[in-house]
Amino acid sequence: MQQTIRKIVIVGGGSAGWMAAAALAKTLGESLDIHLIESEEIGIVGVGEATIPPILKYNDLLGIDEATFVRETNATYKLGIEFVDWRAKGHSYFHPFGHSGREIESFPFHHYWLADWRRRGGEYDYTQFNLETVAAYKGRFGYLPAEGDKPGLNYAFQFDAVLYAKFLRNYSAERGVTRHEGRIVSVEQHPESGFVTAVVTADGRRLEGDLFIDCSGFRGLLIEGTLNCGYEDWSRWLPMNSAVAVPCERVADITPYTRATAREAGWTWRIPLQHRTGNGYVFSDQFLSVEDAKTRLLGCLDGAPLAEPRLLKFVTGHRKRVWDKNVVALGLASGFLEPLESTAIHLVQSGITRLLAFFPKTGIVPSVVAQYNRDVLFDYNNIKDFLIAHYKISERDDTPFWRWVQAMEMPDSLKERLDMFRETALLIAREPELFRETSWLAVMMGQGLLPKTSHPIVETIEAADLRLHMSRWRKMLESRADSLPGHEDYVRRFAPSADLKMRMASAG
Ligand SMILES: Cc1cc2nc3c(=O)[nH]c(=O)nc-3n(C[C@H](O)[C@H](O)[C@H](O)COP(=O)(O)OP(=O)(O)OC[C@H]3O[C@@H](n4cnc5c(N)ncnc54)[C@H](O)[C@@H]3O)c2cc1C
């Protein structure tokens, strides 16, 4: 429909709503009238706490000062995810945010590592050739850019999701976004086009707009409730449909990584923040009752619980269209993939980036809408395969859940990727895929999928030369990691939150 977009209405004030408001205000605020409506009575999910490195680009777009951001959201730094008991009980591996090793003559490092490891045998140490892994296990963190051949330290944040929404709300208010409090009870549509024209609150207020951004959470108030876009259900591959979440007291130094531990019917997360640790058990209720999940979660906390465990229910998948007519859905309103690789906030960010790139200033053009839908659903599909790989490659078969996962079918796209790697050690994961070679290799090899062969080119290299190269690289990583301060010290010095300062003061 050819109608100039002047007034935007964002429905929902969780992370998605405020991320959209802040980015639109910063980039197009001069030409747009931006409104956000949220309901305190309904509240927000408030559990998205772990992120991945592209969030730095979002912060750059907003021009946010990193120390202020870390302080205000009680954040810590994250170098990757430690996966415990996924391949087999008692085994763990690290999925880091940076490359392992270095290409030699433009040839991927993992081929060299495989050739070397086959000859020497012993410890299975692929990600020990990665700086983030070495620093994470030493508990170290600092700003460390790349220097020539030497890698820099890649990172993201772990933060308090409620404080994050508040932080962005203040940011948006300062840039002219108008906030409305109220519960939307009905939605008005144009009688011919079906475009949404206004939302109406319980106390009778009408809020009109040209473009509506649905950030109303799982309910998808406009995208589903009004436009009935339909939902693609992926439970046949990712059967998790529940989570219980509980914060606990922090007891030790804060680790610069998230931990995901495989359990009898799913997995638990542990996310250390400055003032507390976030925990949750993501599970399938076909295999575990909610009461049992709560008991198991409370039994694996490393500090006293700070609240009652909270239950969240979801269906893995996505809306069949995430942009329809003049409604764009972001966040949980657009779909949900379990938080195993911390991708939900990233999907909000990439949705916003695309919306800005495709912004329909002079009206909604169907070909633009179609392209947006294709691009977003490509991301969903790619992440879905990556998540399924964590379950399918495992050797675990010790509970009904793990046996069910072992027996389930895989999507063809994943099957092809795994087959190619197993048979030839070749791995293709290129832009615009979110998870590239580094991530796939860490997870596939960490979960125990080893190729039958390495590339013939590397087989011709002398064993001693290869060994020397490997040990030099390891030594360089060790010394780079040792040059960094401890993570806790870094946070205390660089960006202590008010909570951490109080804790430091009371500890003397
Ligand atoms: C168990 C779990 C763990 C997660 N962990 C992570 C993680 O580690 N990393 C990560 O990136 N993501 C994670 N996520 C996802 C993350 O929490 C969400 O992507 C993020 O919080 C965005 O939520 P949202 O803003 O879409 O929805 P919500 O937080 O649900 O916000 C919805 C908003 O809509 C408003 N609203 C709804 N209906 C109405 C109405 N009728 N009238 C007015 N307002 C209304 C509500 O008041 C609220 O403001 C996790 C999610 C879950 C469920």
User: Region 375-390: what's the mean pLDDT?
Assistant: 97
pTM here is 0.97
How far, in Å, CA of 181 to CA of 455, rounded?
61
Share of the chain above pLDDT 70, in %: 99
Written as six digits, the tokens of 360 are 């329909």
Say yes or no to pLDDT of 399 above 70: yes
Nearest to 72 by CA among 170, 176, 175: 170
β-partners of residue 269 are: 260, 280
Taking the CA atoms of residue 354, residue 357, residue 363 and residue 364 in that order, the dihedral angle to the nearest 10 degrees is -30
CA 170 from chain centre, in angstroms, equals 24
Mutate to test the pocket of ligand 1, among 18, 42, 177, 380 (most ligand atoms within 8 A of CB): 42
Write the DSSP assignment of 140-186 as a string of letters. B------BTTBPPPP-EEE--HHHHHHHHHHHHHHTTPEEEE--EEE
Most confident listed range (10-19, 43-52, 122-131): 10-19
| CA angle, 274 then 280 then 286, to 5° | 175
Q: Are 176 and 294 in contact (CB under 8 A)?
A: no
Written as six digits, the tokens of 411 are 């999507």
Instruction: Give φ, ψ of 20 to 5 degrees.
Output: -65, -45
Q: Are 92 and 85 in contact (CB under 8 A)?
A: yes
Lowest mean pLDDT among 56-70, 198-212, 268-282, 452-466: 452-466
Q: How much is the pLDDT for 503?
A: 87
Q: What is the mean pLDDT of the chain?
A: 95
Q: How far is the CA of 282 from the centre of ligand 1 (A)?
A: 16
Q: How far is the CA of 391 from the centre of ligand 1 (A)?
A: 25
Which protein residues touch ligand 1 with a CB less than 6 Å away? 12-17, 37-39, 42-45, 47-51, 161, 183-184, 215-217, 219, 221, 243, 245, 280, 312, 314, 331-333, 339, 342, 344-345
Which residue type sits at 365?
V
Q: Which atom of ligand 1 has the smallest separation from the CA of 42?
A: 47
Q: Are 101 and 113 in contact (CB under 8 A)?
A: yes
pLDDT digit string, tens, across residues 178-232: 999 999 999 999 999 999 999 999 999 999 999 999 999 999 999 999 999 999 9
β-partners of residue 11 are: 37, 214
Q: How much is the pLDDT for 1?
A: 58
Q: How much is the pLDDT for 456?
A: 87
Say yes or no to pLDDT of 123 above 80: no
Count the Cβ atoms, other than its own, within 10 Å of residue 372. Answer: 20
How far, in Å, CA of 142 to CA of 222, rounded?
43
pLDDT digit string, tens, across residues 313-345: 999 999 999 999 999 999 999 999 999 999 999
- Helices 344-357 and 55-62: crossing angle, nearest 10°? 50
Q: Which atom of ligand 1 has the smallest separation from the CA of 15?
A: 25
Say yes or no to pLDDT of 492 above 90: yes
Nearest to 76 by CA among 496, 499, 504, 481: 496
State the residue for tokens 């048979």: 423
Mutate to test the pocket of ligand 1, among 37, 76, 184, 216 (most ligand atoms within 8 A of CB): 216
**What letter does residue 461 receive in the DSSP assignment?**
S
Say yes or no to pLDDT of 508 above 80: no
Q: Which atom of ligand 1 has the smallest separation from the CA of 243?
A: 1
The 3-state DSSP class for residue 136 equals helix
Return the residue whose CA atom lies nearest to atom 1 of ligand 1.
Answer: 243
Return the residue whose CA atom lies nearest to atom 38 of ligand 1.
Answer: 216
User: Region 288-299: what's the mean pLDDT?
Assistant: 98
Which residue type sits at 87?
R
Q: How far is the CA of 44 from the centre of ligand 1 (A)?
A: 5
State the residue for tokens 């430690």: 82
Q: Which atom of ligand 1 has the smallest separation from the CA of 282?
A: 1
Return the residue whose CA atom lies nearest to atom 14 of ligand 1.
Answer: 48
Q: How far is the CA of 243 from the centre of ligand 1 (A)?
A: 14
Q: How far is the CA of 15 from the centre of ligand 1 (A)?
A: 6
How far, in Å, CA of 95 to CA of 441, rounded?
9
Question: One of 7, 78, 138, 452 is an active-site residue; which one?
Answer: 78
Return the residue whose CA atom lies nearest to atom 30 of ligand 1.
Answer: 217
pLDDT digit string, tens, across residues 71-82: 999 999 999 999
User: Region 494-499: what's the mean pLDDT?
Assistant: 94
Say yes or no to pLDDT of 46 above 90: no
Q: Which atom of ligand 1 has the smallest separation from the CA of 278?
A: 8
Instruction: Give φ, ψ of 87 to 5 degrees.
Output: -70, -50
Share of the chain above pLDDT 90, in %: 88
In sequence order, what are the residues at sequence separation of 6 or more whose Cβ sits closer than 8 angstroms to the Cβ of residue 328?
211, 212, 213, 214, 322, 351, 355, 372
Q: How much is the pLDDT for 430?
A: 82
The 3-state DSSP class for residue 237 equals coil
Band (236; pLDDT cuts 50, 70, 90): very high
**What letter does residue 125 receive in the DSSP assignment?**
-
Beta strands in 374-480 (DSSP E): none
Count the Cβ atoms, other than its own, within 10 Å of residue 163. Answer: 17
Q: How much is the pLDDT for 2?
A: 61
Q: How far is the CA of 220 from the centre of ligand 1 (A)?
A: 11
Q: How far is the CA of 504 from the centre of ligand 1 (A)?
A: 32
Q: Are 297 and 281 in contact (CB under 8 A)?
A: yes
Lowest mean pLDDT among 200-204, 205-209, 292-296, 459-463: 459-463
β-partners of residue 43 are: none
57 is a catalytic site residue = no
